Structure 1
Amino acid sequence: MSETAHVTNETAGRVLTIRRLFNAPPALVFDAFTDPKRMLQWMGPRDYPASYVESDLRVGGSWRACLDSAASGEKLWHGGVYQKIVPGRHLAFTFAWDQESGITVGLETLVDITFEAQNDKTLMTFRQSIFDTPENCSSHVQGWNSAFDRLQELLEQD
């Protein structure tokens, strides 16, 4: 009797990848992801802008933010730990939704971002993985893209 092996892609639909070309050099885009004052200016979708950001930018250091809905008053806390930091080139950190108290209540994912110089612009490749379901993954697409639209506007002001 022969056995048949079935190969499946267990991460199908559970990895979010977004590529954006920003009209700014890599050092400036990287700074927007790591300086809490800059993060407050773009982090979060338009309808849930960040109202609080703290960051201990070092491998093993933590970050934390709160997104606020102007319409409902809902607060969405989230945070994580920095895994890799290469100024102007690469940033990786964990990401999980939590409570105001800091207790993690959501699935922890890994956000891995590269910043590649394209003349005087930056090609950002943003990857967040691995989500528990394809639906949970796709629910982050609109939020991140809205935040990246806000980031582009901020970078155009510099």
Structure 2
Amino acid sequence: MSNTTEIHVDPEVPLVRITREFDHPVDKVFRAHTDPALVAQWMGPRSLTNEMVRWDCETGGGYVFVQRRGDEEYAFHGSFHDVRPGELIVQTFTIDGMPDGVALEKLRFEPLDGGTRTRLTTTSLVDSFEDRDAFVAGGMETGVVEGYERLDELLDA
């Protein structure tokens, strides 16, 4: 893969910033984040499958999805606070069973090279450094890196 995923853990606030470029225009990258059939094909590590229970990616909407590997099951939910097509998604992210560990996430889509490429910058802010570190240690790097590799493959197809 020519594009690498950069994960930066902020030392001053409990925030993680993820930056990734894609060799596709913003409209395609944005659609892959908002269409539940597409999201299910790329989100998370290769070893997990996704079931999109609900995915209403619009301002005021929400989502519930489940990831599975054999007998393991991980459920997530959140709300879409602001969705601006081709530009921005602001959402919450919660792992079921950890109700106090809510992350506030902002996904910013930026056109590059005359609109032929996209830079996606995601920030995830949580309540404490402990929550942030647990979030990162819980497989974030594998899930994000492999998920974006899968997204590249989907966009290339």
Q: CA deviation at 1:141?
A: 2.5
Q: CA deviation at 1:19?
A: 0.8
More helix by share: 2
* 8 Å CA contact 1:40, 1:53 repeated in 2: no
After superposition, the C-alpha distances for 1:80-105 in whole angstroms (9 at most, x for unaligned) are 00011110111111000116xxxx63
After superposition, the C-alpha distances for 1:103-151 in whole angstroms (9 at most, x for unaligned) are x635110111111000200011011112532421422232212211111
After superposition, the C-alpha distances for 1:54-95 in whole angstroms (9 at most, x for unaligned) are 21222221111111114xx21110010001111011111100
- Give the structure-2-normalised TM-score: 0.81
One-letter code aligned to 2:125: S
* 8 Å CA contact 2:20, 2:119 repeated in 1: yes
* 8 Å CA contact 1:97, 1:106 repeated in 2: no
In the alignment, which residue of structure 2 is the partner of 1:92? 90
Root-mean-square deviation (CA, aligned residues, Å) is 1.8
1:60 alignment partner, SS class: coil
Q: Which runs of 5+ in 1 are unaligned?
A: 1-8
* 8 Å CA contact 2:91, 2:106 repeated in 1: yes
Q: 1:127 aligns with which of 104, 123, 128?
A: 123
* 8 Å CA contact 2:101, 2:126 repeated in 1: no
CA distance in structure 2 between the aligned counterparts of 1:53 and 1:121, rounded to whole angstroms = 31
One-letter code aligned to 1:121: R
In the alignment, which residue of structure 1 is the partner of 2:104? 110
Aligned residues: 141
In the alignment, which residue of structure 2 is the partner of 1:145? 145
CA distance in structure 2 between the aligned counterparts of 1:10 and 1:123, rounded to whole angstroms = 24
For residues 1-158 of structure 1, the aligned pairs below 5 Å read 11=13, 14-70=14-70, 73-98=71-96, 105=99, 107-119=101-113, 120-130=116-126, 132=128, 133=130, 134-139=132-137, 140-157=140-157
Misfit runs of 4+, over 6 Å: none
CA distance in structure 2 between the aligned counterparts of 1:131 and 1:152, rounded to whole angstroms = 32
- Give the structure-1-normalised TM-score: 0.81
* Higher Rg: 1
CA distance in structure 2 between the aligned counterparts of 1:106 and 1:155, rounded to whole angstroms = 35
Q: Which runs of 5+ in 2 are unaligned?
A: 1-10
One-letter code aligned to 1:51: E
Q: CA deviation at 1:45?
A: 1.2
CA distance in structure 2 between the aligned counterparts of 1:44 and 1:106, rounded to whole angstroms = 22
One-letter code aligned to 2:79: V
